[in-house]
Amino acid sequence: MTSGNSERPTASDHEPAGWHASEKRRDEARVEWPTLLVTAAIYVGWLLLTAEAHRLPPALVVLAGGWLIAWHGSLQHEVIHGHPTRWQGVNTLIGAVPLSLWLPFVVYRRSHLGHHATPAITDPFDDPESRYLAFDRSQLGRMRHMAERVQATLLGRLLFGPAIMVGRFLAGELAGLIRDPIGRARDWLPHLAGCAMLVWWLDRCGIGFASYALMFVYPGLSLTLLRSFAEHRAAPVPGHRVATVERAGPFALLFLYNNLHVAHHQRPGLAWYQLPDYYRQHRERLAYDNGGLVYSGYGDVVRRYLLRGHDRLVHPDHAHSDRP
134-148, 240-254, 258-272 — which is least confidently predicted?
A: 134-148
How far the first Cα of the chain sits from its last, in Å, is 33
Q: Does 316 sit behind a cis peptide bond, omega within 30 degrees of 0 on the bond before it? A: no
Tell me the pLDDT band of 16, cut-offs 50, 70 and 90: very low
Q: Is the pLDDT of residue 63 over 70?
A: yes
Q: Which whole number is the average pLDDT over 69-91?
A: 97
Cβ atoms of 201 and 50 within 8 Å: the answer is: yes
Cα dihedral 211/217/221/222 (nearest 10): 30
H/E stretch holding 34 reads: helix 33-52
Q: Is the pLDDT of residue 23 over 60?
A: no
Please report the pLDDT score of residue 125 as a whole number. Answer: 95
- Summarize pLDDT for 93-111 with one digit per residue, the tens: 999 999 999 999 999 999 9
The DSSP bridge partners found for residue 314 are 133
What residues does each domain of the chain span? 1-30+231-309, 32-229
Q: Is the pLDDT of residue 25 over 70?
A: no
Mean per-residue pLDDT over the chain, rounded = 91
- The helix-helix angle for 218-228 and 154-179 (nearest 10°) equals 100
Q: Which whole number is the average pLDDT over 66-94?
A: 97
Cβ atoms of 227 and 258 within 8 Å: the answer is: yes
Please report the pLDDT score of residue 320 as a whole number. Answer: 78
* Helix, strand, or coil (residue 30): coil
Cβ atoms of 114 and 128 within 8 Å: the answer is: yes
